[in-house]
Amino acid sequence: MPDPDTHTSHEGGDAPGDSADGFHREIPPNITLEKIIDMTGELEHLNDLVMLCLEKQGGFTCTEAYFTAVQPILDLLEVEIRVRYQPGMSRNEMKLIIQDWIDGEIRELQ
């Protein structure tokens, strides 16, 4: 069985194992941002960014304030993934895109 974190390229056609981790070729249209974050293990890192945003906005006051802070972050992250995604990316490469973006956002807030 191929290692899902290993980048492999298959020219033309569907070779076995091409989509074992869900990221070979194109981002499947039915995959959610939540699933991508889960598959890459970046939920805690993303939460660090959300909590820093909330802190900068005066702290957590209510559930509505949390979602008001979270939604723009998720929207921007989704755009970043769509812009930087390249066919054939491994799960680890996708993880690096997300890590890099979150780290940049955290640096801007500090």
With tokens 């974190």, the residue in question is: 5
Is residue 101 within a helix (H) or strand (E), and if so which, with residue range? helix 91-109
- What's the confidence (pLDDT) of residue 23? 55
Residue 38 and residue 108: Cα distance in Å, rounded? Answer: 24
CA 26: distance to chain centroid? 14
Q: Are residues 17 and 8 in contact, defined by beta-carbon separation less than 8 angstroms?
A: yes
- What's the confidence (pLDDT) of residue 93? 94
Q: What is the pLDDT along the chain (110 residues), one digit of tens a residue?
A: 333 333 333 333 333 334 445 554 567 677 889 999 999 999 999 999 999 998 888 887 888 888 888 999 999 999 999 999 888 888 999 999 999 999 999 999 99
28: left (phi over 0), alpha (psi -120 to 50) or beta: beta
- What's the confidence (pLDDT) of residue 4? 39
- What's the confidence (pLDDT) of residue 18? 41
- What's the confidence (pLDDT) of residue 9? 32
- What's the confidence (pLDDT) of residue 66? 83
Residue 43 and residue 45: Cα distance in Å, rounded? Answer: 5
With tokens 């039915």, the residue in question is: 30
- What's the confidence (pLDDT) of residue 87? 82
| pTM of the predicted protein model | 0.73
Classify residue 34 by burial, with Cβ atoms within 10 Å: 0-12, 13-18, 19+: exposed
